[in-house]
Amino acid sequence: MIVGIIGSGGREHAICCKIKESSKTSKIFCIPGNAGTSNIAENINLNINDFKSIKDFCLKNEVELLIIGPEQPLVDGIVDYFTDTKIKVFGPNKIASQLEGSKIFTKKICKKYNIPTANFEIFENIDDTIEFLSNAEYPMVIKADGLAAGKGVYICKNYNDSLVAAKEIFGGKFGDAKNLLVEEFLAGEEMSYFIICDGKNYKFIGTAQDHKRIGEGDTGKNTGGMGCYSPSRLFSPELEKKINTKIIEPTLKAIKELGTIYRGFLYVGLMIKDQNPYLVEFNVRMGDPECQTILPLLNDDLVEIFINCCLGKLTKEKIILSEKKSICIVLCSKGYPDNFKRNVSIKGLNNLLLKKNEYIFHAGTKFENNKILASGGRVLNFVSVSNNFKTSREDLIKIIGDLKWDNGFFRRDIGYKVIDL
């Protein structure tokens, strides 16, 4: 089978590697891909928002299964754009993708279906917002509606913080994200919970904890994710049951009552407080870097899972995941998440000695003139699977040290909640 993957991050490289393992796969196209995917797939340099070119390419090259990695094309309706073809497209349609595309859409579903989440108010103009903020309790959270590349959330300690947030959001900082959500601050510990859904059936596909902040000890600016580990230390069968019955099943019912279905990965961002789950956000895709830690634990054929999902036949009892532990450290370009140099060469990557349980997934890299260049903020993902988070992390730090890449930095404390006890 000829498989296409849309995206260019660590998530897509990890998906590519897993798809390559399947006996069903004859060829992989990655659109546009990175230096890592170019080793196992053919990279095709198309804009991921140019649906027409992607469709023409897939039809011409007989792509049978197309996997959509990132959220933007899903929210913009790429799945709907392919419904007049026979190509199996893995991902939710435009309506269902609103679960990530609009925080207000999701909050309204939470209210209607009694899904546990932070209390909230919706505002459409600055005057009403300011009036509310002046009498509000702090800390509180302000969020821009719409996609904001993970940057539209403000944790506000006082009135002044909230005023800055409101002014930035209504001032157009997040483009299309025009309305604003004020949320109660939830104290607790975060966990990311993943399912894969075929429109009727859904299956558990792992948990993880992400480290989103740039600095050690979870301090400083928010990033796309500096590293993570799987499984989450909070996971238990009792919690799983609560998440399924109180959050996932009502959400799938809500999507069905909108006259459609949910098909694809669903990333459930949770706050766990007193053993109870509260929904913080949905993402309509795999997490990045969570995907890079979870897929190496998958002891199942991912292509078969994707096809069964597209056919509405994800009926096997459960997806088989290893009992082992997986940890990922992200190597970033100095300066990220602000300004950083692009096209800096990374030498010696292919000389690194990796054990069977160690992986390097590329993110912001490209292959040009026989060189691997760092082209993005998050550059490489170093992953290790073992029975012990601590030794895995030590091994990864050693590998990164061996690379001696002067322009890189990373967090040495990934997984500290499960390691440095």
Instruction: Tell me which residues touch ligand AMP (CB under 6 A).
Output: 118, 141, 143, 150, 153, 155, 183, 185-186, 190, 212, 269, 280-281
Residue 153 interaction partner, one of ligand AMP, ligand GLY, none, beta carbon < 5-8 Å per kind: ligand AMP
CB neighbour class for 60 (10 Å; exposed up to 12, middle 13-18, buried from 19): exposed
CB 229 within 8 A of CB 293: yes
Instruction: Tell me the backbone φ, ψ of residue 116, rounded to 5 degrees.
Output: -65, 125
| DSSP 3-state of 308 | helix
Q: Per this entry, what is the length of the chain? A: 421
At 14, list the tokens: 């990890």
Q: Is 225 in the site for ligand GLY (CB under 6 A)?
A: yes
CB neighbour class for 121 (10 Å; exposed up to 12, middle 13-18, buried from 19): middle
Q: Is 73 in the site for ligand GLY (CB under 6 A)?
A: no
**Which residue, 77 or 150, has its beta carbon nearer to ligand GLY?**
150
**Which residue, 22 or 283, has its beta carbon nearer to ligand AMP?**
283
**Which residue, 223 or 375, has its beta carbon nearer to ligand GLY?**
223
Residue 281 interaction partner, one of ligand GLY, ligand AMP, none, beta carbon < 5-8 Å per kind: ligand AMP
b (16+ CB within 10 A) / e for 130-158: beebeeeeeebbbbbbbbbeebbbbebee
Q: How far is the CB of 414 from ligand AMP (least distance, A)?
A: 16
**Which residue, 118 or 286, has its beta carbon nearer to ligand AMP?**
118
Residue 141 interaction partner, one of ligand AMP, ligand GLY, none, beta carbon < 5-8 Å per kind: ligand AMP
Residue 32 interaction partner, one of ligand AMP, ligand GLY, none, beta carbon < 5-8 Å per kind: none
Q: Is 358 in the site for ligand GLY (CB under 6 A)?
A: no
Q: How far is the CB of 46 from ligand GLY (least distance, A)?
A: 23
CB 1 within 8 A of CB 24: yes
CB 377 within 8 A of CB 332: yes
**Which residue, 287 or 415, has its beta carbon nearer to ligand GLY?**
287
Judged by CB under 6 A, which of 145, 183, 210, 358 binds ligand GLY? 210
Q: How far is the CB of 235 from ligand GLY (least distance, A)?
A: 17
Judged by CB under 6 A, which of 98, 102, 129, 283 binds ligand GLY? 283
Q: How far is the CB of 291 from ligand GLY (least distance, A)?
A: 8
Q: How far is the CB of 283 from ligand AMP (least distance, A)?
A: 8
b (16+ CB within 10 A) / e for 29-53: bbbbbbbbbbbebebbebebeebee
CB 153 within 8 A of CB 222: yes
CB 341 within 8 A of CB 407: yes
Instruction: Tell me the window of 168-176, 179-187, 271-279, 280-288 that interacts with ligand GLY (CB under 6 A).
Output: 280-288
Instruction: Tell me the window of 131-139, 173-181, 240-248, 284-292 that interacts with ligand GLY (CB under 6 A).
Output: 284-292
Closest of 362, 363, 358 to residue 396, by C-alpha: 358
C-alpha–C-alpha distance, residues 262 and 195, integer Å: 11
CB 294 within 8 A of CB 17: no
Residue 252 interaction partner, one of ligand GLY, ligand AMP, none, beta carbon < 5-8 Å per kind: none
Q: Is 290 left (phi over 0), alpha (psi -120 to 50) or beta?
A: alpha
C-alpha–C-alpha distance, residues 160 and 165, integer Å: 9
Number of residues that bind ligand GLY (CB under 6 A): 7
Q: How far is the CB of 184 from ligand GLY (least distance, A)?
A: 22
Annotate each residue in 125-164 with x if it binds ligand GLY (CB under 6 A) or - if it does not, as one string.
-------------------------x--------------
* Contacts with ligand GLY, residue ranges (CB under 6 A): 150, 210, 225, 283, 287-288, 290
